[in-house]
Amino acid sequence: MARHSSKDKTSKDRASKDRRSKDKSSKNKGKSPKAGRTETGPALTHIDSGGEARMVDVSDKPASERIAVAEGRVIMGQATLDLILSGNAKKGDVLGAARIAGIMAAKRTSELIPLCHPLALSKVTVDIAPDQTLPGCVVRATVKVTGPTGVEMEALTAVSIACLTIYDMVKAAERGVRIEAIHLVEKKGGKSGHYRA
C-alpha cells in the first residue's frame, strides 16, 4: 500500500481550504454592506433598506425645542471690506442684503435640500461681524424651532446664502473673495442631545 507523506496531506488541506474560501467569496460577490449602514459607523437615516434615498419619518417623534447655530467667513481684501463698511458698494447695503437673504434661505431650506422637512421656524437671526484681522466678515446664523426634527440644515443654509450674497454684492470690486469654514457651531435639543464644535 502506498504511503502518503505529511507534505502531501498539508498540500491537500491547503487546496481544500482555498476552495472553501473561493466558494464563500463567490457567494458574497456583488453584496454590499447592509443598506443605510456604513462599514465603520451607524446607519444613515436618509437611506432605506433598499439603499434608496428617502425622507425620514418623524411622525412618532415628540415636538421639542431645538436650536442650531452655524458660522462661516467671507475673506476679502482690506479695500473691499472698507467699501462695505462705508456703504459705497455698487449694489448698496451689503450686510443688510446678506442678513435678509440668510433669513429667507433658512425658511426655504426644504426647497433647496431635497430630504429636509419643511419646518415652521420660530426664530432666525443672521449676524454679520466685520473683522479687520481677516480681513472680511464672520457670518453667524441662529435658528430655533419647536418640532420633531432639528434645524442644523436651516442654520447652515442661512450662513451659506448670506456668504454668497456678500460675494455677489462685492464681486464687481474683487473677484477673488473667498468663502470659508462654513460649519455647525452648536445644536441643542432632540435625541442626540447637545453638540458644540
Report the distance separating Cα 171 and Cα 150, nearest Å.
34
**pLDDT at 62 (0 to 100):** 80
Find the Cα–Cα–Cα–Cα dihedral 26, 29, 34, 35, rounded to 10°: -150
C-alpha cell at 29: 460577490
Residue 7 backbone class (left: φ over 0; alpha: ψ -120 to 50; beta: rest): alpha
Q: Which of 82, 127, 131, 168 is catalytic?
A: 168
Could you give the count of Cα atoms lying within 13 Å of 131 in the half-sphere of its Cβ?
Answer: 16
- Is 127 among the residues known to form the active site? no
pLDDT tens across the length of the chain (197 residues): 455 555 555 555 665 556 655 555 555 454 444 445 545 555 666 666 666 666 665 667 788 999 999 999 999 999 999 999 999 888 889 999 999 999 999 999 999 998 888 999 999 999 999 999 999 999 999 999 999 889 999 999 999 999 999 999 999 999 999 999 999 999 998 888 899 99
The answer to whether residues 100 and 148 touch, using CB atoms and an 8 Å cutoff, is no
Q: pTM for the whole thing?
A: 0.74
